[in-house]
């Protein structure tokens, strides 16, 4: 097993865990945590493909991941803010209660 | 050009402004509207005096006596339609007459109309009338003259129908308006013809006007298809307008009925000014009337002038005959007015502008005097107008009687001291010398005899004998109480009698300006300085005519005395002295020669037959066409509606139903739960990965 494929295996495991959390959990904050896990799986892929890719000298992968983490932080902040405002409005963070968009 | 010529428009504009302002006044602002109207008229009178003295000065200095101001009104094609005003002797003398008589009548009206509820409206109309009449007088364009002429007709309509709640007044107003409209239609056609011939409607425009030599020559030379010169045709059409306005014979029927209006209106409009507008119009377009070709060796009267003369002469006698048998005090004066207007027309026809206009001016004064005197009598007798129910008023109303007597003597043409004598004499003298025929002279003399006779009859009925009013008043003793203190006739207030006295003075003094010895009026109109010479009396034919007319007047007065003054009239219900003499003729005269009935049975019947036919045509033919078209449209729209309801709507509803059902079906997928959506995404993603892997393998 090459180091790349083991890295990819790890990242897909991480992604699956995060995805399962997103699908299973009812608490919006825990869903957010799941999303963060999926995001980090993607970051791990970036690093792996860069490290074992054709041009590891240029720091493109690292740069991309740093950006991604920055964006993810901002996204997490926005997500939390949304959740808090929903909580203030509806007194709950249970996502299955928030079905007012039902057709 | 002097100030007054440039600002001549102010003379009609001031009364027009007063009319506009009093139209805005409230009903109770009586003093405001009356003083506004009188003030505007007074200012116009002063301006007219300025204009008059301006013309006098110009004549004295030998300058041109006619000054015009023209201005473009609007453009059509490459031509400008111009309007304008002018100041010439004719305008000046008319301005002074109209504003002076108008002013006196305005003052008189404040007394006569004092008890009327619509006092402000009355003064609004009067001012509007004065404005329009002054516009007619100063107009230098036939179009402007026509516009003001129609305005005059309108105000006449409004004022005759002033007491519109009286059916007879409303009918009289309508009759006046429609009858004069017949003449005005001819006038309009004549005006259009004139425009097509001359290319302008300005009277005088530095040689380019339609009354100036070049245009007249062209119009005389232009023969129509029936061999009549264009100038003659135009002149006759314009004269038809004058016939309508001045109550000449075929169209005279409206004028006596117009007496339904308030008496100041009768005095102002239907005696002094408006009806004289027709005579004035003929005088204004006199160059057109008298236009003849230069090649004619012997100058005789033109066709147009002959028509004017004959119509005038016939009217003079016809109306005088009717006046003999009337019993309404104002109606007698109305027929007398028609008759005198006939004299003026005859004067214009036989003797030219000066002869006709002189009678117009003197008549304006003494006839408005007579009307206002009659108004005073009516006012004093509790609105009684039947002369058979008056009598004995000479002691009760001395001022009215004295002034009325002056007016009556002036109208009869009592020799030497009264203006009517000189003006009527001038007409008779001119008729004597007319080259075509002597008949107008005889007709005129007969008219003079009748005039003296019916005026004597009227005066004896109204002012002499015993009062026959009491028998009438017993019916309603108390109802008049707020208006008069007693049932006996009383003298009118001073704002009514002072104008009477002023007019009476004028009726006497005005004669002096047109005597054969000092023909000031004649020379003023022709723009020369007058010469004083007693030799004028010795001119050919003047003394015999004067003697004849004097004899005629005395004969008329004597006949009147013989029938009505010899023994006092005792009872109102006794038949008239003439009726006893010859009841048949008297009844024909009393019924105005049945002219109204004749019109009723001819013109009005044809008109209503035509109206019935038009109604039938409208109802059955045109209505049928319209109805069938509308039914067709209705059928088409019914078809369209059924297509809509049963075809389009049904299929559309079906489509909508399908969409709704499928929408409901699909809406179930939209659970609103984020996680179920994600689950679908996850499943789809896994399926995608599997497909990719599987496809990579194979």
How many domains in chain A? 1
Structural domain including A32 reads 26-95
Chain B residue closest in CA terms to A16: B682
> Would the CB atoms of B675 and A22 count as touching at under 8 Å?
yes
Distance of alpha carbon B109 from alpha carbon B372, whole angstroms: 9
Contact list in B for residue A19 (CB cut-off 8 A) is 682
Residue of B210, B218, B200 lying closest to B80 (CA atoms): B200
- Give CA torsion, residues B118, B120, B122, B127, to 10 deg: -170
**Residue of B667, B670, B673, B689 to mutate for A, most A C-beta atoms under 10 A:** B673
Distance of alpha carbon B329 from alpha carbon B266, whole angstroms: 12
- Listed in sequence order, the DSSP H helices in B161-258 are 167-198, 213-221, 230-246, 254-257
Residue of B414, B394, B397 lying closest to B406 (CA atoms): B414
Q: pLDDT tens digit string along B410-448?
A: 998 888 778 888 888 889 888 888 888 889 899 999 999
In CATH, what number is assigned to the domain containing residue A77?
Answer: 1.10.287.3510
Task: Name residue, tokens 């059902």.
Answer: B661
* Residue A9, in any domain of the structure: no
Interface residues of chain A, partner chain B, Cβ below 8 Å: 19, 22-23, 31, 95-96, 98-103
* Residue A4, in any domain of the structure: no
Chain A residue closest in CA terms to B669: A103
Judging by beta carbons within 10 Å of its beta carbon (0-12, 13-18, 19+), is residue B78 exposed, middle or buried?
A: exposed
> Which regions in chain B score pLDDT beneath 50?
297, 472-486
Kindly list the distances between the CA atom of residue B426 and the CA atoms of B354, B423, B658, in Å, as whole numbers in the listed order.
9, 5, 106
> Would the CB atoms of B668 and A96 count as touching at under 8 Å?
no
> Would the CB atoms of B674 and A95 count as touching at under 8 Å?
yes
Phi–psi pair at B518, nearest 5 degrees: -135, 75
Report field, pTM of the whole predicted structure over 0.90: no
Contact list in A for residue B667 (CB cut-off 8 A) is 103
* Residue A62, in any domain of the structure: yes
Here the tokens at position B81 are 């339609």
Would you say B153 and B180 are in contact if contact means Cβ atoms under 8 Å apart?
A: yes
Distance of alpha carbon B339 from alpha carbon B318, whole angstroms: 7
pLDDT for the residue numbered B692? 95
> Would the CB atoms of A96 and B673 count as touching at under 8 Å?
yes
Chain B residue closest in CA terms to A18: B682
Contact list in B for residue A96 (CB cut-off 8 A) is 673, 675
Chain B residue closest in CA terms to A15: B682
Which of B667, B673, B678 faces A22 most closely, judged by CB atoms? B678
pLDDT for the residue numbered B292? 77
Here the tokens at position A69 are 């983490």
pLDDT for the residue numbered B133? 93
> Would the CB atoms of A101 and B669 count as touching at under 8 Å?
no
Beta bridge partners of A67: none
> Would the CB atoms of B672 and A101 count as touching at under 8 Å?
yes
pLDDT for the residue numbered A103? 64
What is the interface pTM, i.e. ipTM, of the complex?
0.77
**Residue of B664, B672, B677 to mutate for A, most A C-beta atoms under 10 A:** B672
pLDDT for the residue numbered B599? 86
Q: pLDDT tens digit string along A68-97?
A: 999 999 999 999 999 999 899 888 888 878
Nearest CA distance, B670 vs chain A (angstrom)? 5
Number of Cβ within 10 Å of residue B203's Cβ equals 25
* Residue A60, in any domain of the structure: yes
Chain B residue closest in CA terms to A96: B673
Quick check: helix, strand or coil at residue B68? Answer: strand
Distance of alpha carbon B452 from alpha carbon B339, whole angstroms: 12
* Residue A52, in any domain of the structure: yes
* Residue A12, in any domain of the structure: no
Nearest CA distance, A57 vs chain B (angstrom)? 31
Distance of alpha carbon B151 from alpha carbon B149, whole angstroms: 5
Nearest CA distance, B644 vs chain A (angstrom)? 34
Mean pLDDT in chain B? 86
Nearest CA distance, B676 vs chain A (angstrom)? 8
* Residue A90, in any domain of the structure: yes
pLDDT for the residue numbered B214? 84
> Would the CB atoms of A95 and B669 count as touching at under 8 Å?
no
């Amino acid at each position: 097993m090459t180091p790349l494929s083991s890295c990819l295996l790890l990242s897909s495991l991480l992604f699956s865990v995060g995805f399962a959390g997103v699908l299973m959990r009812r608490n919006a904050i825990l869903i957010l945590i799941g999303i963060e896990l999926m995001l980090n799986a993607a970051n791990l892929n970036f690093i792996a493909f860069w490290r074992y890719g054709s041009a590891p000298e240029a720091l493109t992968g690292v740069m991309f991941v740093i950006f991604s983490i920055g964006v993810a932080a901002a996204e997490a902040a926005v997500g939390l803010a949304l959740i808090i405002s929903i909580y203030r409005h509806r007194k709950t963070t249970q996502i299955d209660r928030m079905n007012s968009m039902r057709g | 050009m002097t100030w007054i010529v440039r600002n001549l428009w102010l003379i009609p504009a001031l009364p027009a402004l007063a009319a506009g302002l009093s139209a805005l006044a409230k009903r109770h602002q009586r003093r405001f509207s009356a003083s506004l109207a009188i003030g505007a008229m007074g200012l116009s009178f002063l301006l007219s005096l300025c204009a008059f003295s301006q013309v006098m000065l110009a004549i004295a200095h030998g300058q041109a006596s006619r000054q015009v101001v023209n201005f473009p009104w609007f453009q059509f094609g490459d031509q400008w339609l111009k309007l304008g005003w002018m100041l010439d002797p004719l305008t000046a003398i008319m301005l002074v007459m109209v504003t002076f008589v108008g002013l006196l009548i305005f003052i008189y009206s404040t007394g006569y109309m004092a008890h009327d509820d619509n006092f402000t409206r009355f003064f609004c109309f009067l001012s509007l009338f004065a404005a329009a009449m002054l516009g007619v007088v100063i107009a230098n364009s036939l179009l402007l003259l026509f516009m003001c002429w129609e305005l005059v007709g309108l105000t006449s309509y409004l004022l005759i129908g002033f007491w519109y709640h009286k059916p007879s007044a409303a009918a009289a107003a309508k009759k006046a308006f429609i009858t004069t409209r017949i003449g005005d239609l001819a006038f309009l056609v004549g005006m259009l013809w004139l425009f097509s011939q001359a290319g302008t409607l300005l009277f005088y425009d530095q040689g380019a006007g339609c009354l100036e030599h070049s245009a007249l020559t062209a119009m005389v030379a232009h023969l129509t298809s029936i061999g009549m010169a264009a100038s003659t045709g135009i002149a006759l059409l314009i004269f038809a307008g004058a016939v309508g306005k001045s109550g000449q014979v075929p169209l005279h029927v409206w004028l006596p009925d117009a007496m339904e209006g308030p008496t100041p209106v009768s005095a102002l409009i239907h005696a002094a000014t408006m009806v004289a507008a027709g005579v004035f119009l003929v005088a204004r377009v006199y160059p057109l009337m008298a236009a003849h070709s230069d090649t004619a060796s012997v100058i005789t009267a033109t066709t147009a002038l002959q028509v004017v003369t004959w119509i005038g002469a016939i009217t003079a006698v016809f109306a005088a005959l009717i006046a003999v048998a009337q019993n309404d005090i104002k109606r007698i004066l109305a027929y007398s007015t028609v008759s005198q207007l006939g004299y003026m027309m005859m004067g214009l026809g036989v003797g030219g502008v000066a002869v006709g206009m002189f009678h117009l001016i003197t008549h304006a004064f003494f006839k408005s005097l007579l009307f206002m005197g009659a108004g005073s009598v009516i006012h004093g007798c509790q609105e009684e107008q039947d002369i058979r129910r008056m009598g004995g008023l000479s002691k009760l109303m001395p001022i009215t009687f004295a002034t009325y007597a002056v007016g009556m003597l002036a109208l009869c043409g009592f020799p030497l001291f009264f203006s009517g004598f000189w003006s009527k004499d001038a007409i008779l003298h001119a008729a004597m010398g007319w080259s075509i025929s002597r008949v107008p002279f005889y007709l005129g003399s007969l008219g003079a005899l009748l005039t003296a006779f019916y005026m004597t009859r009227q005066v004896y009925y109204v002012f002499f004998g015993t009062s026959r009013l009491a028998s009438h008043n017993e019916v309603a003793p108390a109802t008049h109480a707020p208006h008069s203190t007693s049932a006996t006739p009383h003298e009118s207030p001073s704002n009514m009698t002072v104008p009477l006295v002023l007019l009476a003075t004028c009726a006497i003094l005005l004669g002096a300006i047109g005597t054969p010895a000092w023909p000031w009026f004649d020379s003023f109109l022709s723009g020369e300085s007058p010469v004083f010479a007693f030799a004028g009396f010795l001119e050919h034919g003047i003394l015999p005519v004067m003697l004849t007319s004097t004899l005629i007047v005395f004969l008329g007065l004597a006949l009147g005395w013989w029938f009505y003054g010899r023994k006092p009239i005792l009872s109102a219900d006794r038949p008239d002295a003439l009726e006893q003499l010859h009841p048949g003729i008297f009844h024909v005269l009393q019924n105005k020669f049945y002219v109204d009935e004749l019109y009723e049975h001819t013109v009005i019947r044809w008109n209503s037959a035509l109206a019935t036919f038009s109604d039938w045509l409208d109802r059955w033919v045109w209505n049928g066409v319209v109805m069938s078209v509308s039914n067709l449209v209705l059928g088409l729209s019914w078809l369209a509606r059924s297509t809509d309801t049963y075809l389009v709507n049904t299929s559309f509803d079906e489509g909508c139903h399908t969409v709704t059902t499928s929408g409901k079906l699909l809406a179930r997928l939209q659970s609103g739960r984020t996680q179920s959506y994600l689950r679908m995404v996850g499943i789809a993603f896994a399926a995608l990965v599997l497909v990719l892997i599987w496809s990579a393998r194979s």
